[in-house]
Structure 1
């Protein structure tokens, strides 16, 4: 895993940090500040995305991303730390390279 700052050259884009898998460079956590609050976009399965949005007020359809497969979590809100860790691990699991069977 490594940090990337893909929008540093865009004026007014704000500071976005993207956590990426080292081998395939896919992002699994997009971290940024919006309206004075720290947020993270995390990938998830569509049914899980809907469930999490209903379960937590601070989980919403993803800002600036595919709203079917991504959620925004506003940090410091109603999502417990253990659940947030699980969501990050799940997002990572969805983007990591698949092992091919021979």
Structure 2
């Protein structure tokens, strides 16, 4: 799962958190979760239509475990999906969460990125 965590942290202002104890690892942007990493599963926010399509196309993609099944998928990282596709799903989740942040928080993050 190291590549998954490293990719998540490469996204602008992403940070690790452990709000539920030592497991699972929660990845956040602006204080909001975009990925939940435990064992060999990463749960990701997803547009509901895209979520359904991914579930139909890939056995490794299931409705979000202990999450809103309409908006979250749990992806088993077992090699059946190329890592690049998992990274695309992570980016999609991150972008959905980032766009849902209050405008002031989005502006604050963007300003941080412009600093030298």
TM over 0.5: yes
Alignment length (residue pairs): 89
Match of 1:57 among 34, 56, 59: 59
Structure (1 or 2) with the greater strand fraction: 1
User: Which structure: greater helix fraction?
Assistant: 2
Q: Name stretches of at least 5 consecutive residues in structure 1 with no aligned partner.
A: 9-13
Indicate whether 1:29 and 2:29 are aligned: no
| CA RMSD in angstroms, aligned pairs only | 1.6
After superposition, where does 1:1-102 map in structure 2 within 5 Å? 1-8=14-21, 15-21=23-29, 24-33=30-39, 38-96=40-98, 97=101, 99=103
**Where does structure 1 differ by over 6 angstroms across 4 or more consecutive aligned residues?**
none
Bigger shift: 78-87 or 43-52? 78-87
| Unaligned ranges ≥5, structure 2 | 1-13, 105-116
C-alpha offsets along residues 77-102 of structure 1, whole Å, 9 cap, x if unaligned? 421111111000000000013658xx
Q: Secondary structure at the match of 1:31?
A: strand
TM-score, normalised with respect to structure 1? 0.81
Structure 2 Cα separation of the partners of residues 2 and 81 of structure 1: 21
